[in-house]
A = this chain, B = another copy of it.
């Protein structure tokens, strides 16, 4: 007997026919003797519909009331799945965020889970009942409904799995696992049997939209084993686990695990920033205050004039705000010109194997150079190398690198 958390996304919950097929999957785990809690998203499209109502109601809507409105989507699917499970003979009930409770911070619309009381859950599961829990929602200290921000249901699932000490957290979605790269770009991309939390974090944060980044971070911290798999077929998915579980002689063990790309960044260059201590700080302090997430930072060699160009990337949606903030700080920073470019793309090569191997970066630069792809900026970390290139070269760069690192499957993948 195992304890399993199963999480189903919006596509899997879109309509009663699909909810019935979710119930069948849950029943299979119950029939196998497992204790099961299910975390559900709202029906596909429903959260958008509710968010649009809020935006229409007020451009500066109250996040407390926003949470009351948008939390209803998961409430509906929880009730529907519980009754559908009962209809196929599986005892089940829904537990809303405030009923357990799932206690969160008071940062409405982007709350963080603090604690989950599992007393009621443990009792229910011990009697063979399936607990259906709406993802994305909780309740703050004042007993007001809170939500975790878009994609928060993955985080809910991992948090429930951690609190329940579940053996596994199965995240059912509309893709059947994590691939070496986007199969729409590289048809010979391979599905990975397993990746580490850290690799998944890098892959997820640069655009492989399989799992919400926050949920992977939480899983790593709480050591929750995640499986990503499809709700539309029966093949095993990709396990996301700690380093320790990936043995050295694992057949899959190799330098590079996957390649991600992200077209949603913008590049900003400040020219002729005075080359003195504190100059860089004066750039990033106001951006941090404005809650703008700066990613890659490149400082060019100092000009002979005693000044330097500083280049960095921000999310494209934050570009206008960034230019505004920097414009206001122009005197403090002391730059001459502000340049920006949204027609860029970030390509990231990820692999835990990188830690013990040299040459990853040089393979990358060589492969890109051979195709005439210009590198505009570079950053590295222990398990990744990222480069910024012109957006038009995105797909070509991904294909070239996929082949260069030997990731191509023997024959075309079914994806």
Task: Name A's B-contacting residues (CB within 8 A).
Answer: 16, 19-20, 50, 53-54, 56-58, 60-62, 64-69, 71-73, 75-76, 78-80, 82-84, 86-87, 93-94, 96, 98-99, 143-145
Residues of B contacting A50 in the complex (Cβ-Cβ under 8 angstroms): 76
Q: How far does the Cβ of A79 sit from chain B's closest Cβ, in whole Å?
A: 4
The winner among A64, A69, A73, A87 for most chain B CB atoms within 10 A is A69
Residues of B contacting A61 in the complex (Cβ-Cβ under 8 angstroms): 83, 86-87
The answer to whether A53 and B68 touch across the interface, beta carbons within 8 angstroms, is no
- Contacts A75-B75, A143-B99: A82 and B65 contacting too (C-beta < 8 A)? yes
Q: Which 9 A-B pairs have the closest CB atoms?
A: A68-B79, A69-B79, A58-B87, A72-B72, A16-B56, A65-B79, A65-B83, A65-B82, A61-B83
**Oligomer copy total:** 2
The answer to whether B68 and A78 touch across the interface, beta carbons within 8 angstroms, is yes
The answer to whether A62 and B82 touch across the interface, beta carbons within 8 angstroms, is yes
Q: Which of B72, B76, B86, B99 is within 8 Å of A62, CB to CB?
A: B86
Closest to A142 in B: B99
14 of the cross-chain contacts (CB-CB < 8 Å) are A16-B53, A16-B57, A54-B80, A54-B83, A57-B84, A58-B87, A60-B87, A62-B86, A65-B86, A66-B79, A66-B83, A69-B75, A72-B73, A98-B98
| Bound: A50/B73 CA distance, A | 11
The answer to whether A53 and B80 touch across the interface, beta carbons within 8 angstroms, is yes
Residues of B contacting A144 in the complex (Cβ-Cβ under 8 angstroms): 99
Q: How far does the Cβ of A122 sit from chain B's closest Cβ, in whole Å?
A: 17
The answer to whether B53 and A65 touch across the interface, beta carbons within 8 angstroms, is no
The answer to whether A87 and B57 touch across the interface, beta carbons within 8 angstroms, is yes
Residues of B contacting A68 in the complex (Cβ-Cβ under 8 angstroms): 75-76, 78-79, 82, 94, 96
Closest to A72 in B: B72
Q: How far does the Cβ of A248 sit from chain B's closest Cβ, in whole Å?
A: 49
Q: Which of B16, B58, B79 is within 8 Å of A84, CB to CB?
A: B58
Closest to A53 in B: B80
| Bound: A75/B79 CA distance, A | 15
The answer to whether A76 and B72 touch across the interface, beta carbons within 8 angstroms, is yes
Residues of B contacting A60 in the complex (Cβ-Cβ under 8 angstroms): 87
Residues of B contacting A75 in the complex (Cβ-Cβ under 8 angstroms): 68-69, 71-72, 75
| Bound: A54/B82 CA distance, A | 10
